[in-house]
Structure 1
Amino acid sequence: AVNSVDNTTVPGTAGLVDIVTVTFTDGADMDSVAVGELFRLKVTRDAVSDDAAGDAELVAVEIKET
């Protein structure tokens, strides 16, 4: 399954960090991953609908159950 975020506004100053939240539904979106299990997370940038100039940098990923 693919989940996307399109409401991100790029900060106007280099070095500022933006925080984005992506919600996954247990089951299909997460393939029923359980606590302690290894998994892969694929992160891509959609250049077709992206109007931000320059490079994007992924600094950290935090995963938590809600």
Structure 2
Amino acid sequence: MTTQPTSPSPKGAALALILVGAAVATAAFVTMLVTGERSVATGTASLGGVALQIAGWRAARRRNGGAA
């Protein structure tokens, strides 16, 4: 039995988490720059986007058996 080589690229749900997280974090950051408003809501949205990205990368790493 041969094993399939694992791809380090995220796929499926992990990729979706990473992309959505990047979009949320970028939108929150741009909103803070444009409006000059550093409110709790935009800061929370930015951190939430980063958290989604981290969750996506962790899921991709688990899928690949821990390979970075």
**TM-score with structure 2 length normalisation?**
0.24
Q: Which has the higher helix share?
A: 2
Q: Flag the structure with larger Rg.
A: 2
